[in-house]
Amino acid sequence: MAEAASSTDSTIPTHTKAWYYSQHGKPADVLKFDPNWPLPQLKDDQVLIKVIAVSLNPIDYARMRGNFKDTDPHLPVCTKHLYFFLF
């Protein structure tokens, strides 16, 4: 049986590229790109999956515009829908 890679394995990236927003408004005004977004430390029971492409869903636009700001997490937001893992 092959040994699993640990979260300290040097082949696992520590950063990725990500789109995020830190204020509500029109996507063209608030959506920002970070080419060096830190990834959280992987736990022993977690895996990191390389994603080639993702989409921005209508709910993401509504959240970005502030339609759910009373119930959404604090800003900045880089949700699973907005992560772009491009290694």
Cα of first residue to Cα of last residue in the chain, in angstroms, is: 27
Does residue 86 register a pLDDT over 80?
no
Q: Look over the chain and give the mean of its residue pLDDT values, rounded to a whole number.
A: 76
Both tokens of 13, joined, read: 């990236």
Both tokens of 14, joined, read: 């520590």
| Predicted local confidence at residue 13, as pLDDT | 83
| Predicted local confidence at residue 44, as pLDDT | 87
Does residue 61 register a pLDDT over 50?
yes
Both tokens of 60, joined, read: 């993401």
Structural domain boundaries in the chain: 17-84
Q: Taking the complete model, does pTM exceed 0.75, yes or no?
A: no
* 3-state DSSP of 22-83: CCCCCHHHHCEEEEEEECCCCCCCCCCCCCCCCCCCHHHHHHHHCCCCCCCCCCCECCCCCE
